């Protein structure tokens, strides 16, 4: 009796993932054994080197071995072209976000202390700090990478949880406005757990239909299994709910403004960029790889969701008075724009075009988002970040450079030419038109116009209103924050003026599509 | 469909028993007032005092319970490996050691952060 074969695991291809997870575990050990005053000094280089090292490994792998053509670890994980590109994007965005996290002033001194209590004052006086944010962020980043590269629904669920659980915690660690932060953490946790349950239930249904959780296997079963369509449709719908929650598509978007507002701004930056990228990777895998031959059935529903998401995001953003909530609604609208690309499937070349456009969009949007939230961390008044839009009035007169950069980020969100947002939107919408989704593109352009209104309104507010007498001050940025703003602005310009190299890279990553 | 009849019967029996047990208790049971019945339920021991005015309250039991669950799950993963470890060979051993080390890292964190101290 020798029935069990040990599985083969391609450690070489999984190295970036293993490095991030390994460093996260080392981070926990540092928390356990290093003296308090040394922890941060160890964590920051460790985290940065890990992320840069993993990014280097991704590049080395592409240069040395090219794009792998088969799934690894017994078909559980697919390190294919799109995965490698998405890993690269997630790692770049994480490096930038960790530079922001590194700024001391954003995290609570003692998370367990009741807000406003003597305990909390004592913790602040003692200079307490939760250096756990670094290993937690590493776990979340590793989870994002796994989520986007999973080739099997079970691994995808593990990735989803590894990504989400640290984020739930991190959301509750804002230094100021503790109650709002705790509220966001609880809301995100409860709704996130709920959506995970939907995902699991959908997975069970699909397994009941196909007899496998392997994405390629599900696709094979589509043509083979008959008479179980109810299971398949229910499973698809439930899986969709779980995934659409993570990207914040309407009608599952309600958590996004609350969580983005309450979470510490560097964590918001990580969530708004990295999580969105990872979740779109997973959406593409489920709907293109596993359910690709079912596109006639899911496409009408996805049309509705995309239209609703774009409109809800654009219209509700107008009524917002808080800068972080406004950016959250803007992120919802962008999720809708991205969904038009997910819908635009067809022939292999059409799929490759859509995929390449989506990859470019994700990179362009992610980097601009981190930059915008970095600026938000710098505009402060006595109570911490000046979130209310009225406090931003006249910022352009006090601090023209910073307000100018922020205005530039907003224009990139709006998709004005010469910014990265223009080419991202253009590529996705062009792919959608080619894929026969012209009405969607019309809705997309109209909601872009609506969205442009509230972006421009903030710009007008910053440059053409009188500054308030007791207006917020611009904090002198730490080197990290300044570097983030500069990097994001540079990337937004370069991708907006000379996007061709990145387009070529995205084309190359997308050309072989997903492995099965 | 006939295949599912026993399951349905079982479900009906289970639901019936649950509803019957809950419904019959207030009708037939005696009602005697007792101060302990109004206290918070903490495994039958003296309940921890409630914080007055929104103070902190100890999470000793929760930490103990969480640790229990972690090791409980670890054991569940050890069982199948123990049954088939001769077939899994060196690979299985290495993977299991990796798994246990990962759990131990979490344990070390709890221990160093005084999660195991009762007071």
Whether the Cβ atoms of residue A101 and residue A131 lie closer than 8 Å to each other: no
Place of tokens 């507010």: A461
pLDDT value of position B2: 78
Which bin fits A465, alpha (ψ -120 to 50), beta or left (φ > 0)?
A: beta
Per-residue confidence at A514, pLDDT binned at 50, 70, 90? Answer: confident
Q: Inform me whether the pLDDT recorded for A142 exceeds 80.
A: yes
Task: Tell me which H or E stretch contains A50.
Answer: helix A36-65
pLDDT value of position A392: 86
Structure tokens at B110: 């709890």
**What is the complex's ipTM, to 2 decimals?**
0.84
What average pLDDT does this structure show over A238-259? 94
Q: Note the residue count of chain A.
A: 516
- CB-nearest to A4 from B88, B102, B105 is B88
What average pLDDT does this structure show over A59-83? 86
| Cis preceding-peptide flag for A100 (omega within 30 of 0) | no
Coil, strand or helix at A496: helix
Coil, strand or helix at A380: strand
Using alpha carbons, list the distances in angstroms from residue A159 to A77, A155, A263, A471.
11, 6, 22, 43
Q: Inform me whether the pLDDT recorded for A469 exceeds 80.
A: no
Report how far Cα A40 is from the mean position of its chain's Cα atoms: 25
B57-119, superfamily in CATH? NADH:ubiquinone/plastoquinone oxidoreductase, chain 3 (1.20.58.1610)
Q: Inform me whether the pLDDT recorded for A482 exceeds 60.
A: yes
Q: Distance between CA atoms of A16 and A149, rounded to whole angstroms? A: 12
A408 class by beta-carbon count within 10 Å (0-12 exposed, 13-18 middle, 19+ buried): buried
Structure tokens at A212: 């496998």
Q: Inform me whether the pLDDT recorded for A1 exceeds 50.
A: no
From chain A residues 23-42, the ones with a CB under 8 A of any chain B CB are: 25, 28-29, 31-33
pLDDT value of position A95: 95
Question: pLDDT exceeding 70 applies to what percent of chain A?
Answer: 99
Which bin fits B4, alpha (ψ -120 to 50), beta or left (φ > 0)?
A: alpha
Q: Among A298-302, A469-473, B15-19, which stretch is predicted with the lowest mean pLDDT? A: A469-473
pLDDT value of position A394: 85
Task: Tell me which H or E stretch contains B26.
Answer: helix B5-28
Neighbours of A313 (CB within 10 A): 27
pLDDT value of position B56: 67
pLDDT single digits (tens) A204-240: 999 999 999 999 999 999 888 878 888 999 999 999 9
Per-residue confidence at B55, pLDDT binned at 50, 70, 90? Answer: low
How many Å is the Cα radius of gyration of chain A? 22
Q: Does A114 touch chain B (CB under 8 A)?
A: yes
Q: Distance between CA atoms of A360 and A429, rounded to whole angstroms? A: 12
Identify the closest residue of chain A to B53 by CA–CA distance.
A117
Counting Cα atoms < 13 Å in the Cβ hemisphere of B96 gives 20
pLDDT single digits (tens) A96-118: 999 999 876 788 888 888 887 88
Q: Is A29 close to B108, i.e. CB distance below 8 A?
A: yes
Q: Distance between CA atoms of A500 and A197, rounded to whole angstroms? A: 42
Per-residue confidence at A82, pLDDT binned at 50, 70, 90? Answer: very high
Going from N- to C-terminal start, the domains of chain B cover 57-119
pTM of the model: 0.90
DSSP string, A352-390: HHHHHHHHHHHHHHHHHHHHHHHHHHHEEETTEE--BGG
Q: What is the residue-averaged pLDDT of chain B?
A: 85
Identify the closest residue of chain B to A3 by CA–CA distance.
B87
Q: Alpha-carbon torsion B66, B70, B73, B75, what sign?
A: negative
Closest Cα of chain B to A404: distance in Å? Answer: 45
Q: Distance between CA atoms of A31 and A41, rounded to whole angstroms? A: 12
Q: Distance between CA atoms of A51 and A88, rounded to whole angstroms? A: 10
Query: For residue A379, what are the β-bridge partners?
Result: A474
Burial A241-261 (b: 16+ CB within 10 A, else e): bbbbbbbbbbebbebbbbbbb
- CB-nearest to A28 from B87, B91, B105 is B105
Question: pLDDT exceeding 70 applies to what percent of chain B?
Answer: 89
Closest Cα of chain B to A22: distance in Å? Answer: 10
Going from N- to C-terminal start, the domains of chain A cover 13-511
Q: Distance between CA atoms of A225 and A5, rounded to whole angstroms? A: 29
pLDDT value of position B104: 92
- CB-nearest to A25 from B54, B92, B102 is B102
pLDDT single digits (tens) A337-389: 999 999 988 888 899 999 999 999 999 999 999 999 999 998 887 777 888 88
Q: What is the residue-averaged pLDDT of chain A?
A: 91
pLDDT value of position A2: 56
Whether the Cβ atoms of residue A495 and residue A409 lie closer than 8 Å to each other: no
Triad A444, A311, A463: Cα angle to 5°: 85
- CB-nearest to B112 from A3, A33, A117 is A33
Q: Inform me whether the pLDDT recorded for A55 exceeds 70.
A: yes
Q: Inform me whether the pLDDT recorded for B53 exceeds 80.
A: no
Q: Distance between CA atoms of B37 and A450, rounded to whole angstroms? A: 60
Q: Does A113 touch chain B (CB under 8 A)?
A: yes
Q: Inform me whether the pLDDT recorded for A461 exceeds 50.
A: yes
Burial B45-63 (b: 16+ CB within 10 A, else e): eeeeeeeeeeeeeeeeeee
What average pLDDT does this structure show over A191-197? 95
Place of tokens 């803007």: A330
DSSP state of A176: S
Coil, strand or helix at A506: helix
Neighbours of A400 (CB within 10 A): 13
């Amino acid at each position: 009796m020798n029935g069990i074969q040990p599985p083969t695991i391609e450690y070489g291809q999984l190295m970036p993932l293993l490095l991030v997870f390994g460093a996260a575990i080392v981070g926990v050990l540092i928390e356990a054994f290093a003296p308090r005053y040394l922890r941060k000094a160890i964590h920051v280089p460790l985290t940065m080197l890990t992320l840069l090292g993993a990014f280097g490994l991704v590049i080395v792998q592409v240069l040395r071995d090219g794009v792998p053509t088969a799934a690894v670890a017994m078909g559980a994980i697919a390190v294919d072209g799109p995965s490698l590109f998405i890993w690269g994007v997630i790692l770049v965005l994480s490096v930038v976000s960790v530079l922001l996290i590194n700024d001391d002033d954003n995290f609570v001194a003692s998370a367990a202390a009741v807000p406003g209590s003597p305990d909390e004052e004592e913790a602040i006086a003692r200079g307490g700090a939760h250096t756990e944010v670094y290993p937690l962020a590493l776990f979340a980043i590793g989870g994002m990478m796994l989520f986007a590269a999973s080739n099997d629904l079970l691994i995808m669920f593990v990735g989803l949880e590894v990504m989400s659980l640290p984020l739930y915690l991190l959301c509750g660690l804002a230094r100021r406005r503790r109650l709002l932060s705790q509220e966001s953490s609880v809301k995100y946790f409860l709704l996130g757990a709920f959506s995970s349950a939907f995902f699991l239930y959908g997975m069970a249904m699909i397994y009941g239909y196909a007899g496998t959780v392997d994405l390629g296997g599900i696709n094979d079963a589509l043509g083979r299994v008959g008479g179980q369509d109810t299971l398949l449709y229910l499973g698809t719908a439930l899986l969709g709910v779980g995934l659409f929650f993570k990207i914040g598509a309407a009608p599952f978007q309600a958590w996004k403004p609350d969580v983005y507002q309450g979470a510490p701004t560097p964590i918001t930056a990580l969530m708004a960029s990295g999580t969105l990228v990872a979740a779109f990777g997973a959406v593409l895998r489920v709907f293109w790889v596993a359910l690709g031959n079912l596109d006639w059935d899911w496409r009408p529903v996805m049309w509705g969701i995309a239209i609703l998401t774009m409109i809800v995001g654009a219209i509700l953003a107008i009524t917002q008075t808080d800068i972080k909530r406004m950016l959250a609604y803007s992120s919802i609208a962008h999720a809708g724009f991205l969904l038009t690309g997910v819908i635009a499937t067809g022939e292999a070349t059409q799929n490759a075009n859509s995929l390449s456009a989506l990859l470019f969009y994700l990179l362009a949007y992610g980097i601009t988002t981190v930059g915008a939230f970095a600026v938000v961390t710098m505009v402060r008044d006595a109570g911490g970040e000046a979130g209310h839009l009225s406090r931003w009035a006249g910022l352009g007169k006090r601090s023209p450079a910073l307000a100018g950069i922020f205005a530039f980020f907003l224009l990139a969100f709006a998709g004005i030419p010469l910014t990265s947002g223009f080419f991202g939107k253009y590529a996705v919408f062009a792919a959608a038109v080619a894929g026969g989704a012209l009405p969607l593109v019309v809705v997309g352009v109209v909601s872009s116009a609506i969205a442009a209104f509230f972006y421009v309104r903030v710009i007008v507010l910053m440059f053409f209103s009188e500054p308030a007498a007791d207006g917020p001050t611009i904090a002198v940025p730490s080197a990290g924050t300044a570097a983030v703003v500069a990097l994001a602005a540079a990337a937004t310009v370069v991708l907006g003026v000379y996007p061709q190299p990145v387009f070529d890279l995205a084309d190359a990553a997308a050309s072989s599509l997903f492995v099965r | 469909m006939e295949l599912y009849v026993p399951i349905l019967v079982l479900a009906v029996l289970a639901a019936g028993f649950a509803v019957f047990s809950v419904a019959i208790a207030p009708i037939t049971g005696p009602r005697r007032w007792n101060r302990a019945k109004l206290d918070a339920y903490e495994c039958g021991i003296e309940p921890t005092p409630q914080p007055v005015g929104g103070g902190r309250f100890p999470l000793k039991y929760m930490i103990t319970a969480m640790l229990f669950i972690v090791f409980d799950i670890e054991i569940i993963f050890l069982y199948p490996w123990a049954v088939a470890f001769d077939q899994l060979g060196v690979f299985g051993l290495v993977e299991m050691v990796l798994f246990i080390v990962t759990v131990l890292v979490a344990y070390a964190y709890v221990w160093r952060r005084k999660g195991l101290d009762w007071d």
